[in-house]
A and B are shown apart, each in its own frame.
Chain A
Amino acid sequence: MPNPRKPDGSVVTTCAYCGVGCGFKAETIRGEIVRMIPWKEGKANHGHACVKGRFAFDYWRHADRVKKPLIRASIAEPWREVTWDHAITHAAAELKRIQAKHGRGSAGAVSSSRCTNEEIYLMQKFARVALRNNNIDNCSRICHSPTQFGLSATLGAGAACQHFDSILQADVILVVGANPTEGHPVFGSLLKRRVRQGASLLVIDPRRTETAESAHCRADVHLALRPGTNVAVLDSLAHVIVTENLHAAKFIAERCHPAEFEQWRALVGDPRYAPEVVGPEAGVDPAEIRRAARIYANGPNSTIYYGLGVTEHSQGSTGVMCLGNLALSCGMLGREGVGVNPLRGQGNVQGGSCLGSWPHMFTGYRFVTDAAVRATFEQDWKLELDPEPGLRLPNMFDAAVAGTFKAIYIQGEDPVQSDPNQNHIVAAMKAMECVIVQDLFLNETAKYAHVFLPGSSSLEKNGTFTNAERRVSMVRKVVPPLAGLEDWEITVRLTNAMGYPLHYDHPAQILDEIARLSPAYQGMSFALIERCGSVQWPCNPQAPEGTEVLHTKTFPRGKANFMLTGYVPTSERTDERFPLLLTTGRILSQYNVGTQTRRTGNVAWYGEDVLDVHRTDADARGIQDGDFVTVTSRYGETRLRARISDKVNPGVVYTTFHFAQSNANAVTSDLNDWATNCPEYKVTAVELVKVPTGKPASSRTPASVRA
């Protein structure tokens, strides 16, 4: 029988969900997307896919999509539909009014890793040439900013060392604070394949994740550490390496600064980092720490993959440095099957990091305070630029609460749902005079917005994404933007309305500008990516078709650096009032705060966030499987359905954060990483109370909560 729904169109594009960046053929019938077929030639996925990329695409035409720009004078008023010209003129006038009244530094912008490289680049250009400040940040601030900081400090490049396929040459795979089976499923399958072939698997994670233990994959060592003790445990692994002389002396002598190694060896070799000291505090068996260290050091090829379980801590950047130190100490860099590799959460987090959407850095991780670097941009953009760093995203919210930050342009982000200590974020939003949200849907943040600019999904635009292995791939328009404009076109219009003339006919011209101003992207162009299928940076005259493995002969600064990574316990502590530690994560079928996947059939697999509780803790509180419980922290409270689970240890509870109604970030703290202000989502002290049957849901803020 002939297929009654045979597609009449097909476009190869890149998935916008996790950082794997799978290639897909988006197939259409009469202009409607009907299915996503994994692209066999995709170098990141080789024809594989997960249930998000494969099935969760219908959000693009969901009834909730906003198709007309909206404005209102105050958040108490209803929205009013206006034309694009009206909305852009109004937004620009408001930004100019506020800057005239409150100072140039009173406005800022945030870009999104759901948008393309070209759109992210334009957002930072908007801040620098239109707002005339460096108040620009990107959403990796709240996920992988410690990666950029920690890997830059140790290895000289804030990005993955390897390409994904390199794992097939690894003998030992160390996974820290990540669950690729659910968070990065296509890569997770590759990892499992290598484990089935015989590679050793070491997992450091508070939970017994699918990666640590499943039907076809079991970790040789699983250190189910207490949340918040990453740095102690990683330093303890290093302690074993240096005190048992397992380090790679020749590699260290040739590729590192020996004096820095000695300084580091003295620190981690101190008895306070012995497994027998750290183990009891971290809740893990000291013998298992020793065993893991020996397996990693012996390789011969040992590789590290990590996720937000490392970065989202008050010592997130320190934790990343620990991983860099470990790899350096054992010479596990610069060839296939080794390296340190962040697993990026969103499709274009790496692009968000590369393209200058930072308050302190231009593209290519170069300081705005560096006059020579600044001069190259000033020459190209024909404008004097602010020589000082701007505010980071959490700083912007802090400044709004303090009354000194009054306007924000948010592209494709939902801080009210996704950022920590929701009460604080809401207070910041309410304190601003103009909040401009550019998104597909009226998200939680839009409740506090004055201008709503309807954006376009990745299926409705042209551009590029950079995945977690530094691979730049094409994003191609499958259907026209529902609201008429691609996101980059909206930013161009707003920049023009602010008085700085911008003109691009196509995103290819924006990538050309990026290449002109960014050493790692020097050779990139749409033509090259079309010809090669995808290209990994650095791409330059020495590597005209890109680079699969970093640090093969030298590091970006010549030699690599050992950083001193002392353990500083988080100030978020359990006590009699809040005796349990809440940690958070994701599930396979849903994506981040669920803006897209909640609006697809994937809700059939996972329709609500639940709270995993160990039976010991449940019994002590009279909680049965399926009961609703009130989760209270020092910052707020929410209500979740409990699930009795042996995936968490006693004393630890876990939830996902995909659904707005579960309000997980009503309870998370606003403690954050010392270097980057990345929030400490992974450690919040809480208490649970069973909700009596029949009592309505509630979510409120304790009187003691700081706004």
Chain B
Amino acid sequence: MSGRAAKSGDAVIHLDVLITMANQIGDFFTPYPPGQREEGVRNHLRHYWDPRMRDALLAHVDATGGTGLHAHVLAAAKLLREPGAAKTGYPGPPKA
């Protein structure tokens, strides 16, 4: 039901902007232990980002293996496709 990019292959926002934003989110969650830090990024991307932004990020992951993304941000992006990724959003510390 949500609007998608106007044409197939178009990124809703330039990819460099999205990568910068994703890595900034990753920087915040870096102090959390492994597992929590990826979940924190996943929760944020899932519940704060327009789906077209997530799609563009995942398309970049598919096309390049995630060039330019921090390792735990890349792992978090991949979690968006895992079962249970759609669980209810929440504020506060990562629940993992």
Contact = CB atoms under 8 A, between A and B. Distances in A.
* A and B interact physically: yes
Interface stretch (A65-73, A293-301, A400-408, A657-665): A400-408
B28 A675 contact: yes
A103 B6 contact: yes
A35 interface: no
Given A318-B28, A390-B50, A563-B92, A403 B10 contact: yes
Nearest to B92: A561
Contacts of B83: none
A391 B52 CA distance: 9
B6 A404 contact: yes
A563 B14 contact: no
A462 B46 CA distance: 38
Contacts of B89: 360, 367, 369-370
B27 A402 contact: no
**Which one of B10, B30, B89 has the greatest number of beta carbons of chain A within 10 Å?**
B89
A402 B28 contact: no
Contact of B12 (A149, A314, A404): A404
A644 to B, nearest CB: 37
B61 interface: no
B50 A389 contact: yes
5 nearest A-B pairs in the assembled complex, by CB-CB distance: A105-B3, A104-B3, A674-B24, A388-B2, A564-B31
B27 A568 contact: yes
Contacts of A156: 91-92
B15 to A, nearest CB: 9
B28 to A, nearest CB: 5
B11 interface: yes
Contact of B93 (A267, A384, A561): A561
27 contacts: A99-B3, A103-B5, A104-B2, A105-B52, A106-B3, A132-B1, A134-B2, A153-B93, A154-B92, A156-B92, A260-B93, A315-B28, A359-B50, A360-B89, A367-B88, A387-B2, A388-B50, A389-B48, A391-B53, A395-B13, A401-B14, A404-B6, A404-B10, A404-B11, A566-B31, A568-B24, A675-B48
Given A153-B93, A387-B2, A402-B10, 16 more contacts: A103-B3, A103-B5, A104-B2, A267-B31, A386-B2, A388-B50, A389-B50, A399-B12, A402-B13, A404-B6, A404-B11, A404-B13, A404-B52, A564-B31, A674-B25, A677-B21
B38 to A, nearest CB: 14
Interface string A348-362: 000000000001100
Interface string B73-90: 000000000000010110
Interface in B42-96: 44, 46-53, 86, 88-89, 91-93
B50 A386 contact: no
Contacts of A534: none
Given A367-B88, A389-B51, A568 B28 contact: yes
B63 to A, nearest CB: 17
A557 B14 CA distance: 37
Contact of B53 (A99, A395, A566): A395
B91 A102 contact: no
A466 B13 CA distance: 34
Contacts of B47: 360, 367, 369, 389
A133 interface: yes
A675 B88 contact: no
Contact of B30 (A133, A384, A566): A566
B91 to A, nearest CB: 4
Contact of B92 (A104, A402, A557): A557
Interface of A: 99, 102-106, 132-135, 149, 152-154, 156, 260, 267, 314-315, 317-318, 359-360, 365, 367, 369-370, 384, 386-391, 395, 398-399, 401-405, 557, 561-566, 568, 674-675, 677
Contacts of A370: 88-89
Contacts of B2: 104-105, 133-134, 386-388
B50 A391 contact: yes
A434 to B, nearest CB: 15
A401 B5 CA distance: 14
A365 B28 CA distance: 22
A384 B32 CA distance: 38
Contacts of A564: 31-32, 93
Interface string B32-46: 100000000000101
A156 B93 CA distance: 11
B14 A153 contact: no
Contacts of B48: 360, 389, 675
**Which one of B1, B25, B44, B92 has the greatest number of beta carbons of chain A within 10 Å?**
B92
A557 B95 CA distance: 14
Contacts of B91: 149, 152-153, 156, 365
Contacts of A153: 91-93
Contact of A389 (B11, B30, B49): B49
A677 to B, nearest CB: 8
A391 B53 CA distance: 9
Given A367-B47, A563-B92, A675-B44, A399 B1 contact: no
A402 B31 contact: no
Contacts of A154: 92
A55 B62 CA distance: 60
Contacts of B13: 395, 398-399, 402, 404
Contacts of A132: 1
Contacts of B28: 315, 317-318, 566, 568, 674-675
B52 to A, nearest CB: 6
Contacts of A135: 50
**Which one of B4, B6, B44 has the greatest number of beta carbons of chain A within 10 Å?**
B6
A677 B50 CA distance: 13
A267 B36 CA distance: 15
B69 to A, nearest CB: 14
A561 B50 CA distance: 27
Contact of B1 (A384, A391, A403): A384
B93 A563 contact: yes
